Amino acid sequence: YFPRELFGWYAVLIKSSDLPAINQELSTIFNELWRLDVNRMTPGIDYTISVQGRASFVSQGSHVVQDHASQPLFSNVNESKLRNITTFSRFMTLLDNYERSTGMTERVTADELTEMSLFLDAILETQVMKRAHQYLVRKGQSSSDLRLFKNQLNLIWFHLYHRQRNTGLDSCGFEHVFVGETKSGTEIIGFHNWVQFYLQEKSRHLDYKGYKTRVQDLPDQDDHVLNLQFSWHGVVKPAGSAFIGTSPEFEMAVFTIVFLMSTERSTTVVVNIDQCQMELVVVRHGRSLGTAYPKLLSSNSRHVSQHAR
């Protein structure tokens, strides 16, 4: 005999044990950064996306993929607004500074060093990065000296290293996460940024194939994180992910915090940001960033209603 009134609680306990443990502290600071992100683009106003069909399974390295999206992901983007926001415009100047293929030595010019410095200066002036800096200082992870914090960001994001063995310095965190790379001409690695996605789609180097998600959780045009499938220069990314509409300072602040708050080689935290529940994955490469990306777990506060049931 099992009392009926206990059965409901038992079911809730079983259900809640399946749910990921939310990092409440990081959720709190990230929502604060979210509210401070005045440069974030507004869906339906500053840009419009069309998620279309669910992408099918594709094995890594395959070039054959069914297209479940006949139209581009981005129907339109207010590009003039993007280019008039300092952090976005300086971010975009960095996107053509890198060799797409790993194994190709990166040569950084004096002009490119200046572009990196100006970009870091611009994000350090935003309320988002000021609050992130304040948090990291309080946690003992960063110096209160702005110049030293800028150097720390430079080391994490722009320091060149070997991603492929027996080659020159061929990669850095910024290139991998925001620009994207190809490996052996058969695999897309990194490439987790919506602005680069839009620009590459616009220039017809990239073809969106459809969204990736669990059956019960359909994305919509207001979602600020998407899991997606695409091809780039003919190479397929079976499952990728990106924040959508967010500013570069927001993404760098969030991933920098996760990077500095852990000493593990690979860190995964589960957070609620705005209406989305997501995993944030950060992998280090020594004292620099190897990769960082969001992975949407549920959107439109569906995880909240699941808790309430």
What pLDDT, on the 0 to 100 scale, is given for residue 294? 96
Residue 111's CB is within 10 A of a number of other CB atoms, namely: 10
Residue 300 structure tokens: 């439109």
Element (H, E) at 201: helix 194-202
- Distance (Å, whole) CA 93 – CA 67: 31
Q: Is residue 192 annotated as part of the catalytic site, yes or no?
A: yes
Q: Is the pLDDT of residue 16 over 50?
A: no
Q: Assign 96 to helix, strand or coil.
A: coil
What pLDDT, on the 0 to 100 scale, is given for residue 66? 87
Q: Provide the pLDDT confidence category of residue 62 given band limits of 50, 70 and 90.
A: confident
* Of 219, 225, 199, residue with least CA distance to 30: 225
Beta-carbon contacts of 309 under 8 Å, excluding residues fewer than 6 positions away, are none
Q: Is the pLDDT of residue 217 over 70?
A: no
* 163-198 per-residue burial string, b: 16 or more CB within 10 A, e: under 16: beeeeeebbbbbbbbbbbbbbeeeebbbbbbbbbbb
User: What's the CA angle centered on 73, arms 71 and 75, to 5 degrees?
Assistant: 75
Q: Residue 236 — left, alpha, or beta (φ > 0 → left; ψ -120 to 50 → alpha)? A: beta
Active site residue: 209, 224, 237, 303, which one?
A: 237
Active site residue: 176, 212, 224, 285, which one?
A: 176
CA atoms within 13 A on the CB side of 84: 6
Beta-sheet strands, E only, within the chain: 47-49, 74-77, 181-183, 187-189, 206-211, 225-232, 235-243, 266-273, 276-285, 288-298
Q: Residue 170 — left, alpha, or beta (φ > 0 → left; ψ -120 to 50 → alpha)? A: alpha
What pLDDT, on the 0 to 100 scale, is given for residue 308? 39
Q: Provide the pLDDT confidence category of residue 18 given band limits of 50, 70 and 90.
A: low
Residue 132 structure tokens: 């992130």
Q: Is residue 159 annotated as part of the catalytic site, yes or no?
A: no
DSSP letter, residue 177: I
The pLDDT tens digits of the residues spanning 286-301 come to: 999 999 999 998 876 5
What pLDDT, on the 0 to 100 scale, is given for residue 19? 56
Q: Which residue has the higher pLDDT, 62 or 16?
A: 62
* Of 163, 159, 169, residue with least CA distance to 107: 169
CA distances from 157 to 109, 214, 216 (A): 17, 32, 36
* Of 43, 44, 66, residue with least CA distance to 54: 66
Q: Is residue 295 annotated as part of the catalytic site, yes or no?
A: no
What pLDDT, on the 0 to 100 scale, is given for residue 300? 63
Active site residue: 192, 209, 212, 303, which one?
A: 192
**CB–CB of 57/41 below 8 Å?**
no
What pLDDT, on the 0 to 100 scale, is given for residue 215? 58
The pTM of this model reads 0.89
Q: Is the pLDDT of residue 165 over 90?
A: no
The pLDDT tens digits of the residues spanning 75-131 come to: 999 999 999 999 999 999 999 877 776 767 777 888 989 999 999 999 999 999 999
Lowest-pLDDT range of 5-19, 28-42, 195-209, 231-245: 5-19
What pLDDT, on the 0 to 100 scale, is given for residue 214? 67
Lowest-pLDDT range of 108-117, 157-166, 210-219: 210-219
What pLDDT, on the 0 to 100 scale, is given for residue 153? 98
Q: Provide the pLDDT confidence category of residue 11 given band limits of 50, 70 and 90.
A: very low
Which residue blocks in 228-301 are alpha helix, DSSP H? 248-260
Q: Provide the pLDDT confidence category of residue 303 given band limits of 50, 70 and 90.
A: low
What does the pLDDT average to over 54-65?
Answer: 79
Q: Is the pLDDT of residue 263 over 50?
A: yes
